[in-house]
Structure 1
Amino acid sequence: EPYRLAVSGIYARLAATATRLEIDSVRAPVGEAEPYDSVHAFKADLDAIHHSLVSTNAVVIARGRLRRLRRAIDCFGFHLASLDMRQNSAVHERTMTELIDAAHPGKSYAAMTEDQRVALLTAELRSARPLTSLFVKYSDETVGELAVFRQAAVAHATYGARSIPQCIISMTKGVSDLLEAAVLLKEAGLLGPTGRSAINIVPLFETIEDLQACAKIMDRLLGIPEYRRLVDSRGGVQEVMLGYSDSNKDGGFVTSGWELYKAEIGLIEVFEHHGVRLRLFHGRGGSVGRGGGPSYDAIVAQPGGAVNGQIRITEQGEIITSKYSNREVGRNNLEILAAATLEASLLQPKRVAPNADYLEAMEQLSALAFKAYRGLVYETEGFVEYFWASTVINEIATLNIGSRPASRKKTKAIEDLRAIPWVFSWAQCRLMLPGWYGFGSAVEAWVVQHPDKGVAFLRAMYQEWPFFRTLLSNMDMVLSKSALGIASRYAELVQDEELREKIFGRIRTEWHASIDSLLAIMGHDRLLQGNPLLERSIRHRFPYLDPLNHVQVQLLREHRTHDPDEQVLRGIQLTINGISAGLRNSG
């Protein structure tokens, strides 16, 4: 009877809470009660019942449905799922420009230097007055951005702070990018005048240049008292997100992986110096070109001190389906992530750096691979035309597979292309170029420059250094899914024969060189020799996959006539889905 009365009272408060949140209750409560102020009060009531059951030797009951409900409350609270806010730094810059110019006539925020911006923004953080005014008419973009932050404040008041815990600034390029977000949080009431913040501000470093600068940016940022108070109010933890997609598109697979690794080492040193705990957020995609690959190997291969008990990673839609649609498979994958995090945190020495010779060799290989990749993608005349003609980039844009257009701007430039369609297009034509290009020529050039070390040195480096081993293992998997013969059929879609042979010839040469170098370093005779299960799986998929590529090429020819047929486009879309399913981690 005491438990029945307690549960009835709890349900009455829960029903009142549901009414406040405009959610229909499953059944009417026995009586009226005040709604819960927070999910913590609800959890406290359930905990009281749990402790009472345990104290009266009713542990069997406590470990039943009550235990599952308490666990659900821990995970979901009243908000169900936590959401991150995310916006490009350029949008925040335009918003802040308009706000500053209206509040400080005569000042031009856009014309200010970085130091001037930092000084102005920190002064705004110290000021108690609002920056916005009801008497100023702002642009639609500025009104929309302010509305997003204010709606986040409403969500916090309604569902609790865990409903929106992060504000991510993509394309972070300087200290002012994060201070701009802090000022916007202040305008919405999510950051108080004392520096106490209700939301974490998370920089996202994406391009090669930004990854190289991220340690200096965070060092300066954490040295600003106004921002440091914000970090301290969040438990002394600062999250930093690292982007795998744009860094790959910018510098190629080898350089992207290496610059990410170096960025982590630099961040670890900076955060130790400031006494702030670092939580890395890895923006990994499904494909190897966007940071994909075995999660366990990726976590264990992080530099010492990078994991430190916690890590965040993104999982793409196609990967979520394959990893978590089945309960047992999902549990196994979560156990793998937990095991890797524990191993990386507890078993890897934090202070022991990799062999200095390995670091130097990797730096040189990265520079050579970067030169080869940039030489093809950004410095070869006609490459853009070749890419748009020989891949399904135009047709991918017609699929409902993403929330954003293929390009950030209305151009065909590679710089403006989003990373997902870039990688996805190369996967469809079976070249998988973002996952290997530049490696072969880099190794060949490095061996010529270091005849005293040669491939034997790189083989030792592969065997002893987890980072290099994981890099090559992922490349091994990508190359095993490529098919040069099928790719040549897509190249035939390029009308300019001279352009076609010039670019595809370079790709073909680099493909052979990359495979030869990879096998020589790994000491294998064939691709995936060290992973027979995956080798068999891919081999069994090819008889179903290859015909889809040939059908797709023919449909592309028909669709790109002057009188395209909607049914033909529908056929292309079906082949895109089929090839993606067969390749699995394709985008």
Structure 2
Amino acid sequence: MAATASQQADRSSAERNSAVSEMPDELRADVRMLGESLGRVIAEDGGPDLLSDVERLRKAVIAARRREVSVDEVAAMVAAWPIERSVQIARAFTCYFHLVNLAEEHYRIRILRSRDTGDSSVPDSLAQAVAELKHDLGDEELNRLIADLEYRPVLTAHPTEARRRAVATAIQRVSAQLAEYNAPDRGAQERQEAQRRLLEEIDLLWRTAQLRHTKLDPLDEVRTAMSAFDETLFRTVPRVYRALDAALAGGSGTREPRARAFIRYGSWIGGDRDGNPNVTARVTREAVLIQADHVLTALENATTRIGRALTVAAAYGPPGEELSGLLAQAADDHPELASELATRAPGEPHRQWLLFVAARIAATRRRDLDLAYRSPDELLRDLRACQASLVAGGAARQAYGELQHLIWQVETFGFHLAELEVRQHSQVHATALEELRAGKTSERTEEVLATIRMIAWIQERFGPRACHRYVVSFTRSSEDIAAVYELAEHALGSRAPVLDVVPLFESGEDLANSADVLTGMLALPAVQRRLAEGGRRLEVMLGYSDSAKELGPAAATLKLYDAQAELAAWALANDVRLTLFHGRGGALGRGGGPANRAVLAQAPGSVAGRFKVTEQGEVIFARYGHPAIALRHIEQVTNAVLLASTPSVEARTGDAAARYRLLAERVASASERAYRSLTEAPGFPEWFGLVSPLEEIGSLRLGSRPARRGLGAPKSLDDLRAIPWVFAWAQTRVNLPGWYGLGSGLLAATRSPGEPVTSPSTDPAASTSGTTGPSDPGATEADGRADRPEIGPGIEELRRAYREWPLFASLLDNAEMSLAKTDRQIAARYLALGGRQDFADQVLAEYDLTRELVLAVTGHTRLLESRRVLSRAVQLRDPYVDALSHLQLRALSSLRAPDDLPDDERERLDTLLLLTVNGVAAGLQNTG
């Protein structure tokens, strides 16, 4: 029996009250203190009336969720304010979300530290994985797996980070002061000063403009990503290796480590030119130089720090023969520098040597060729000579302590920091070859050739490892791969750079044909040569974003799984060491979600100790913004990569996939039909542009890449890139790409094969208006759909599949998260803006169906019931996101009205709209 609207409102209120009561004391205290501090700053700047209006809206949206006031009353309140007042209120709620996010991050860090026992009792840790693998595999197989282990995160510049860099920096300063404020053992005066500084930084955050005034260029994006390296990655990577080494053998720091450097960072920032005319050969060159400057600076500083501290006297740790020879050679080649160092560190040969090494790293950064290193291998040779000398002199702890961290850092980052990858569309290559064969070249073709020449320059300067992968998007055949090698010959002839051309399969058809394309690749002489040179290694990229946009989340998930399984079998049959490169986004509609669970859900044989994945937009800073969180994330993913590569996990996954194969096909087929019935309907793209801030998102200047292909409003989904597609749906509180069609798929799977199924999403006439409904986003719709679909006996098999098949569980859990972030009542107000009630009804009916079936399969009584922390966060945030949504709706409805607006009013409404887009993104977090 469906609940009444009153019962649903009571449950929504009860769940929120429960979420508040369950909030840990430390977190509650931080949220309250930061909120009160922001309120004080707002009142100081805008007066008590501004703070009063902010509080009125805050209380009103909470009351609306309890059904104490109607959403129409809230909308009327918002409409009564002048636009300038609405802008100030939008700023207030956006700043509040930044502070709440910060409080939650600090709480998470405290929890991670409190739970870190350093042993196998920590779930998803390296210690836990190693302990399990020792038991299941034995030492010999474990050592083989560790030797082959690879984790390759690739940073991309896809524009889903809505915050300005200045805002992010201001938040970091608030974070530092919050840590000072909460530090234990503070005296009263110290605490008062910490609170004063905290207020000062919150005041600065409030006064910092939320919107960018100029569009980012690709080099801005490179510099933004460098902050993650400077603040976190460089220091975190050796801690990961140390944790693995301790798990493997214990006693880490007194012996030669068993853990090897298995992480290799990559980057598309400054290399991805697919659809981005702003990325040129010059930009690619500058991107590599920026990366090199950052990593060489970091290596110089680390070497200087370690060298200054290494005051091992020759009497207590004599230099070895090799190191003595190197010091003598340095004195011959660079007498002034060697004399200076001997004077600074008399009788301390190891200290002298490391300071000399630091000077050489500095010379490498300055391009002082007399002193510079020619390659990272030369630097590693010198560091290992110092390490061996310390060991021979009895100073093993000095050899395998901080010096080992430095060696790991050089092995991981080299002199280039991240392996820059180039990406271009297959059609661009085809056109370029047509022009070259015809004896004419356009500017775009000249740029293609310049890019290849730039790759050769990078390799000459930094070595092939710095830039050798060339990703071809929309690969349809082996001819698309051959085209790149042919273009390289046109560009440089016999001096062509080392290239590993990586096919990217994105559409459903291309994923299905991927193995055939690889078979064709094997016949190419250039590919055969690279396989022979590289130990028969081959890389293939799978696109999650475009496949999900084309097929819907359920069908795309199965199609990607099938492609992984087929490619793994192909690699085994052809003696190829295959690495699958997963092009995942941050949002659930683009392959997002918990990374470790995604790894464990991969097809058997497709991981094999190697995992490569894109890290995009706001995900970079969410995962790498703080060392403790970065360490936990890398450990979790590595744990999953190790476990997913074992025969027992592969067998369980494979057995479950085979057992539920037909069931999954029924879900995928019906879900795709439902999804296409909406997205391919005439008028749908235009309607989507009206009900969402799609057009305005391009004005946010989120990144250097255009938001869509071509000019004007999108006429089909092919015109629209996956990122703004997902981002815009998140703003409407619908989150459609994360769940649409799944309900129809699950419903079909509950029925007997061949039994006709009519779901509301494929038969809009079967649904009612759906424009009213409870404010609880997780409530069953008594007043939204009177005729509930009949769930067949197949529900039990779906429940077993959820319990036993990680892929199916991941699909439903991610959809559940997306549904929980959907608000039906707010969503209906957005959908009404398009003037197509049939589309609105179809979307809302599928939401009702999907929510009902997801709960039925998972056995939950409410969304996110088994994920208390996430559920609490969503419940607490929802009313404040509602406030921003009402402000956004006010702006959007005015901008979509048929009446012409004066230019100054349109500009003010645009400002309000864009501010709310920033705020909603901060509130919902994984929006793109």
* TM band (smaller chain): 0.7 to 0.9
What secondary structure is seen at the aligned counterpart in 1 of 2:711? coil
Q: Distance in 2 between matches of 1:201 and 1:145?
A: 15
Q: Distance in 1 between matches of 2:422 and 2:845?
A: 44
| Residue 29 of structure 1: aligned partner | none
Q: Distance in 2 between matches of 1:362 and 1:8?
A: 61
Note the alpha carbon deviations across 1:136-159, whole angstroms, 9 max, x for none. Answer: x52100111111111111111112
Q: Distance in 2 between matches of 1:531 and 1:163?
A: 41
1:444 aligns with 2:780: no
Paired AA for residue 516 in structure 1: E
Shift of 1:4: 5.1
Q: Distance in 2 between matches of 1:362 and 1:533?
A: 30
1:409 aligns with 2:748: no
Check the 8 A contact 1:431/1:487 in 2, yes or no: yes
Q: How does 1:156-175 map to 2 (within 5 A)?
A: 156-175=459-478
Shift of 1:64: 4.5
The RMSD of aligned alpha carbons is: 2.1
Q: Pick from 557, 563, 581 the counterpart of residue 922 of structure 2.
A: 581
Q: 1:278 to 1:67 in 2, by over 3 A?
A: same
Q: Distance in 1 between matches of 2:708 and 2:477?
A: 24
Q: Distance in 2 between matches of 1:190 and 1:50?
A: 43
1:51 aligns with 2:381: no
Paired AA for residue 569 in structure 1: D
Check the 8 A contact 2:455/2:468 in 1, yes or no: no
| Residue 572 of structure 1: aligned partner | 913
| Residue 507 of structure 1: aligned partner | 843
What secondary structure is seen at the aligned counterpart in 2 of 1:405? coil
Q: Distance in 1 between matches of 2:704 and 2:728?
A: 17
1:3 aligns with 2:3: no
| Residue 131 of structure 1: aligned partner | none
TM-score (norm 1): 0.87
1:18 aligns with 2:365: yes
Q: How does 1:89-488 map to 2 (within 5 A)?
A: 89-102=426-439, 138-189=441-492, 198-346=498-646, 348-350=648-650, 352-378=654-680, 380-411=681-712, 412=714, 413-450=716-753, 454-488=794-828
| Residue 552 of structure 1: aligned partner | 888
Q: Distance in 2 between matches of 1:325 and 1:180?
A: 40
Paired AA for residue 385 in structure 1: E
Q: 1:11 to 1:322 in 2, by over 3 A?
A: closer
Q: Distance in 1 between matches of 2:512 and 2:919?
A: 38
| Residue 117 of structure 1: aligned partner | none
Check the 8 A contact 1:242/1:283 in 2, yes or no: yes
Paired AA for residue 644 in structure 2: A
Shift of 1:405: 1.5
Q: Distance in 1 between matches of 2:799 and 2:411?
A: 47
Q: Distance in 2 between matches of 1:316 and 1:191?
A: 36
What secondary structure is seen at the aligned counterpart in 2 of 1:250? helix
Note the alpha carbon deviations across 1:437-458, whole angstroms, 9 max, x for none. Answer: 1111222233233488511111
Q: Distance in 1 between matches of 2:635 and 2:486?
A: 40
Q: Distance in 2 between matches of 1:527 and 1:485?
A: 16
Q: How does 1:484-563 map to 2 (within 5 A)?
A: 484-494=824-834, 496=835, 499=836, 501-560=837-896, 561-563=900-902
Check the 8 A contact 1:476/1:528 in 2, yes or no: yes
What secondary structure is seen at the aligned counterpart in 1 of 2:581? strand
Unpaired segments of 5 or more residues in structure 2?
Answer: 1-346, 756-791
Q: Which moved more, 1:332-341 or 1:184-193?
A: 184-193
What secondary structure is seen at the aligned counterpart in 2 of 1:493? helix
Q: 1:401 to 1:570 in 2, by over 3 A?
A: same
Indicate the percent of aligned positions where both proteins have the same amino acid: 38
Q: 1:582 to 1:347 in 2, by over 3 A?
A: farther
Q: Which moved more, 1:156-165 or 1:47-56?
A: 156-165
Note the alpha carbon deviations across 1:52-72, whole angstroms, 9 max, x for none. Answer: 111111123324543333222
Shift of 1:45: 1.0
Q: Which moved more, 1:247-256 or 1:137-146?
A: 137-146
Check the 8 A contact 1:79/1:163 in 2, yes or no: yes
Q: Distance in 1 between matches of 2:720 and 2:476?
A: 19
> How many equivalent residue pairs?
535
Note the alpha carbon deviations across 1:267-288, whole angstroms, 9 max, x for none. Answer: 0111111100010111110111
What secondary structure is seen at the aligned counterpart in 2 of 1:398? helix
What secondary structure is seen at the aligned counterpart in 2 of 1:74? helix
Q: Distance in 2 between matches of 1:56 and 1:189?
A: 51
Shift of 1:165: 3.2
1:62 aligns with 2:399: yes
Greater RCO, 1 or 2 (C-alpha within 8 Å, sep 6+): 2
Q: 1:4 to 1:455 in 2, by over 3 A?
A: closer
| Residue 257 of structure 2: aligned partner | none
Paired AA for residue 3 in structure 1: H
Shift of 1:532: 1.5
Q: Which moved more, 1:157-166 or 1:272-281?
A: 157-166
Larger Rg: 2
What secondary structure is seen at the aligned counterpart in 2 of 1:579? helix
Q: 1:185 to 1:57 in 2, by over 3 A?
A: farther
Q: 1:204 to 1:355 in 2, by over 3 A?
A: closer
TM-score (norm 2): 0.56
Q: Distance in 2 between matches of 1:278 and 1:154?
A: 28
What secondary structure is seen at the aligned counterpart in 2 of 1:397? helix
Q: Distance in 1 between matches of 2:522 and 2:857?
A: 42
Paired AA for residue 365 in structure 1: V
Q: Distance in 2 between matches of 1:55 and 1:85?
A: 45
